[in-house]
Amino acid sequence: MRATFFACVMAIFALPADADTEADRLVDAMGIPALIAAFSEDGLETVRDINDGFLNGQGGDVFAETTRRLYDPARLEPKLRADMIAALDPRDARQALAFFESAQGQRIIALEVQARQAMVDDAVEETAKAAASRADDATVALLSVRNLVDRNTDVALAAQRAFFDGLAATSDRTDMAPDIEGQRDTIAESTRAWLTGYYMLVASALEPDDMDVYIAFWETDVGQSVDAALYSAFEGTYVDLSFGLGQLVGRLLPQNEL
């Protein structure tokens, strides 16, 4: 019922306009630039483990500078933006703007961005993940409606494959890749805890009916289309990044092994 009502409301805003401009506005209205910035900051912390694990911490200035370039939001955002615009049906972008540019939509997005920025802090992340076992019904429903656990798990596995493909491309070391598919259940469990903790953090600051409205949006055909375009663009960007990171590690491996 709520999805039907929501679809009718969005249809009111289905007026002709420039498709690319609307899709571009949607990327901004969904807070994607700020989310990419937080992802980048988080990633630069994670690559320290890669330096330690593959290069014994000896990556040096080359590793540090190249990873800064790889994770630079000014490099990541244009690709994700262009890919999402290309994947979006113009009619869906137009109707989605009716929600994301509304006061309620912007309030939800602002809290998503704040929560993502907060989760860069390891202590906040661990606290949020520890609370995942107490997830409320609305958070569980949101993850289910958007299929977020499976989608993010698929992206993570694809990024891992790309990393080892990149490593092999510059080092000829084809023996270093683990059984990536065999990690699916473990990654899915970790992903579920992270996403649950994250959205519980978001929901804790929302108005009582905000989550219901948010879920209602994602239940619509428009919401499903926007999510598909978003994850297609995100996967492409993350896989490209991971392949580049693997190439970097592969180039540095011979120096490390001398």
pLDDT band at 174 (very low <50, low <70, confident <90, very high): confident
Q: What is the mean pLDDT of residues 219-241?
A: 97
pLDDT band at 254 (very low <50, low <70, confident <90, very high): low
pLDDT score, position 256: 47
Query: What is the chain's alpha carbon radius of gyration, rounded to the nearest angstrom?
Result: 20
Length of the chain: 258
Q: pLDDT tens digit string along 152-170?
A: 999 999 999 999 999 999 9
pLDDT score, position 176: 87
What is the helix (H) or strand (E) element at residue 164, kind and residue range?
helix 148-171
What is the helix (H) or strand (E) element at residue 34, kind and residue range?
helix 32-55
In this model, does residue 223 exceed pLDDT 50?
A: yes
Is residue 91 within 8 A of residue 226, CB to CB? The reply is no
Q: What is the mean pLDDT of residues 226-255?
A: 94
Q: Which two tokens stand for residue 243?
A: 């392949």
Please state, rounded to an integer, the average pLDDT across all residues of the chain: 91
Is residue 204 within 8 A of residue 135, CB to CB? The reply is no
Q: Which two tokens stand for residue 19?
A: 């498709």
Q: What is the mean pLDDT of residues 187-196?
A: 97
CB atoms within 10 A of CB 212: 14
Q: What is the mean pLDDT of residues 176-186?
A: 94
Contact residues for 157 (Cβ-Cβ < 8 A; gap 6+): 180, 181, 183, 184, 187
pLDDT score, position 37: 97
Is residue 167 within 8 A of residue 246, CB to CB? The reply is yes
Angle at 126 between CA 123 and CA 129, to 5 degrees: 150
- Alpha carbon distance 40, 46 (integer Å): 10
**Cβ burial, residue 209 (10 Å; 0-12/13-18/19+):** exposed
pLDDT band at 73 (very low <50, low <70, confident <90, very high): very high
